[in-house]
Amino acid sequence: MVQSGPSAPGPSVDGPAVALSSGSGTLSAMTSAGNEIRLFSTKAYDRAAFEQANLAHGHELTYLEPRLDVTTVGLAAGARVVCVFVNDVVSAPVLEALHAGGTRAVALRCAGFNNVDLEAAARLGITVVRVPAYSPNAVAEHTLALILGLNRHIHRAYNRVRDGNFSLDGLVGFDLAGKTAAVVGTGRIGTIVARLLWHLRCEVLAVDQYPDDHLVELGVEYTSLEDALGRADVITLNCPLTEETHHLVDAAAIESMKQGVMLVNTGRGPLIDTEAVVDGLKTGRIGSLALDVYEEEARLFFEDRSAEVIEDDVFARLLTFPNVLITAHQAFLTKEALSAIANTTLANVGDLFDGRACANEVVAGD
Ligand code: NAI
């Protein structure tokens, strides 16, 4: 545990010192236990960004390396606010344990909130805040990097050249210009992805119940998911994970795609049924696949597992395909995004500490 901030006292396990109003979105009564934020799943780059941002906030920050789940939730005891990332488990049992330990707010330092049981949080009076947008450019640019890198086999070419193999066999790509690209979800990130693809002179299809006027003006065609999947040469998933979007790409969806389609997922792992995608790669229906997220990534990503045996057979199978490019949930990882994440998170918590309503509160039904 690494602590910083004005006094950095050890955690108390006495539970809440003050009863807090539930559902108000503020922690106005949260004064006597100090302004500590306990951050789970932190890496050196998180700590650097938070230390820099905290110069303007002066909160008391305690950095923890473990991921939050039912086995580690005891580490939060005594902290009024815990700060978590994408693979921390904020389920009902975890929230109940957090509540028993005195936690009254969960600050997500990410946009997605699919890992939080919002109904349980509301029932317990635990406020949940997030960082709705930190750098949509970071994720959109990484999406484009995956599309370009995968298409032109940069991952394979890099290794070949370093190994003194200058053969071009197997490295044939295609011109993106003139191809049809489908962007599923045109929110903050997807609109930028769509614009980047449009600038590459793709015909861009979009799937979203809320069309973006600027994209429509550019000539982007909004259409149904079925139509987009059937027409696209490149499909990129940029929508959130919800009950509706879980396994949005399943065996039937893959069957409806063009032969040799490129599929890219920088949204959330469960947007695709990975086993169905492995089958699609085997038949050639999916011509290439780029992932920044994976259904079972919580057991793999963000750690050095190079000396371990990978027990996940589906993931191990994915790694065997030459036409699969995987990054380990790094689309967000730019200096600008890390700084924005830290600043917004600390401002969110500052609102709660000061009794102000936080504009970035997430409530059940969002
Ligand atoms: P956003 O909320 O601005 O946009 C999401 C869009 O998806 C909205 O326009 C919404 O109407 C649309 N949508 C919802 N359900 C849909 C469906 N069934 N079909 C098509 N569109 C649908 O969110 P933003 O900021 O663009 O982020 C999108 C997702 O990207 C996040 O939810 C998160 O899961 C993921 N993400 C991944 C990161 C990474 O590092 N790989 C970093 C940040 C976000």
Tell me what pLDDT residue 35 has.
73
What pLDDT does residue 112 have?
A: 87
The rounded Å distance from CA 358 to ligand 1 centre is 21
Q: What is the CATH number of the domain that holds 87?
A: 3.40.50.720
18 has pLDDT over 90: no
Is the minimum distance from the CB of 134 to ligand 1 under 6 angstroms? no
What angle separates helix 188-199 from helix 136-151, to the nearest 10 degrees? 40
Answer whether residue 11 is part of any domain.
no
Atom of ligand 1 nearest to the CA of 248: 18
Say if 281 falls within a structural domain: yes
- Quick check: is 236 in a domain? yes
- Are 215 and 286 members of one domain? yes
Residues 169 and 129 in one domain: no
* Average pLDDT in the chain: 91
Ligand 1 proximity of 294 Cβ (cutoff 6 Å): no
pLDDT tens digit string along 41-75?
Answer: 999 999 999 999 999 999 999 999 999 999 999 99
For tokens 């449009």, name the residue.
198
- 73 neighbors 99 (Cβ within 8 angstroms): no
Under 8 Å between Cβ of 101 and 124: no
Q: How far is the CA of 115 from the centre of ligand 1 (A)?
A: 14
CB 97 within 8 A of CB 70: yes
Task: Check residue 67 and report its DSSP letter.
Answer: P
What is the CB neighbour count within 10 angstroms for residue 353? 22
What is the per-residue pLDDT across 168-205, written as a single tens digit (0 to 9) for each?
999 999 999 999 999 999 999 999 999 999 999 999 99
121 and 243 within one domain: no
166 lines ligand 1 (CB under 6 A): no
Residue scoring higher pLDDT (86 or 15): 86
Which of 41, 225, 236, 238 maximizes ligand 1 atoms within 8 Å of its Cβ, making it the mutation to test the pocket? Answer: 238
Q: Is the Cβ atom of 238 under 6 angstroms away from ligand 1?
A: yes
Query: What range defines the domain where residue 317 resides?
Result: 136-326
* Dihedral sign, Cα of residue 58, residue 60, residue 66, residue 68: negative
Q: Which of 153, 196, 201 is nearest to 176 (CA)?
A: 201
CA of 161 to the centre of ligand 1 (A): 37
Q: In sequence order, what DSSP letters do the residues of 207-259 get, joined into one string? A: E-SS--HHHHHHT-EE--HHHHHHH-SEEEE-S---TTTTTSB-HHHHHTSPT
Residue 71's CB: how many other CB atoms inside 10 A? 11
- In whole angstroms, give the CA distance from residue 86 to residue 301: 11
239 C-beta closer than 6 A to ligand 1: yes
Q: Establish if 216 belongs to a structural domain.
A: yes
Indicate if ligand 1 lies below 6 Å from the C-beta of 87.
no
Domain tally for the chain?
2
Q: How many CA atoms lie within 13 A of 247 on its CB side?
A: 7
Give CA separation, 170 vs 117, 153, 275, 287, in Å: 46, 8, 25, 13
Residue bearing the CA closest to ligand 1, atom 25: 188
**Are 75 and 154 in a shared domain?**
no
Whether 314 has a pLDDT exceeding 80, the answer reads yes
* 329 classed as catalytic: yes
The 10s digit of each residue's pLDDT in 69-124 is: 999 999 999 999 999 999 999 999 999 999 999 999 999 999 889 999 999 999 99
User: 35 with 46, same domain?
Assistant: yes
Same domain, 231 and 244: yes
Q: What is the pLDDT of residues 157-166, one digit of tens each?
A: 999 999 999 9
Catalytic annotation, pick one of 268, 285, 295, 361: 268
Q: Is the pLDDT of residue 305 over 70?
A: yes
Task: Name 75's Cβ contacts closer than 8 Å, sequence gap at least 6.
Answer: 1, 38, 40, 64, 66, 68
Q: Is 243 in the pocket of ligand 1 (CB under 6 A)?
A: no
297 catalytic, yes or no? yes
Q: In terms of domains, do 144 and 238 share one?
A: yes
Least confident of 19-28, 33-42, 356-365: 19-28
pLDDT digits (tens, 9 = 90+) for 252-297: 999 999 999 999 999 999 999 999 999 999 999 999 999 999 999 9
Place of tokens 């259409």: 223
Same domain? For 189 and 127 the reply is no
**Are 322 and 278 members of one domain?**
yes
Question: Among 259, 317, 318, which residue's Cα sits nearest to residue 292?
Answer: 318
Query: Domain check: are 237 and 290 in the same one?
Result: yes
Q: For tokens 């609102």, what's the residue?
A: 351
The phi and psi torsions of 317 (rounded to 5 degrees) equal: -65, -40
Is position 188 within any domain?
yes
* One domain for residues 75 and 152: no
When pLDDT is cut at 50, 70 and 90, the band that residue 6 belongs to is: very low
Structural domain includes residue 7: no
Q: How far is the CA of 186 from the centre of ligand 1 (A)?
A: 7
Ligand 1 within 6 A of CB of 126: no
**Smallest CA separation from ligand 1 atom 2, residue:** 187
CA 16 centroid distance within chain: 31
20: in domain? no
Where residue 365 falls among pLDDT bands split at 50, 70, 90?
confident
201 CA to centre of ligand 1 in angstroms: 23
Same domain, 118 and 256: no
Q: Ligand 1 test: best mutation among 87, 144, 208, most atoms within 8 Å of CB?
A: 208
pLDDT-derived band at 23 (thresholds 50, 70, 90) equals very low
What is the pTM assigned to this prediction?
0.88
**228 class by beta-carbon count within 10 Å (0-12 exposed, 13-18 middle, 19+ buried):** buried
Q: Taking 60 as the threshold, does the pLDDT of residue 135 lie above it?
A: yes
CA angle 181, 185, 186 (to 5 degrees): 85
| pLDDT per position as a tens digit, 324-362 | 999 999 999 999 999 999 999 999 999 999 999 999 999
- Does a structural domain hold residue 3? no
Atom 9 (ligand 1) nearest CA: 187
Cβ within 8 Å of residue 366, ≥6 positions away: 113, 118
- The total of other beta-carbon atoms located within 10 Å of residue 198's CB is 17
Query: Running DSSP on this structure, what letter comes out for residue 266?
Result: -
User: Which two three-digit tokens encode residue 345?
Assistant: 């998170």
Tally helices (H) and strands (E) across the chain.
12, 13
Question: Atom 21 (ligand 1): residue with closest C-alpha?
Answer: 185
- Whether 246 is catalytic is no
Tell me if 240 CB under 6 Å of ligand 1.
yes
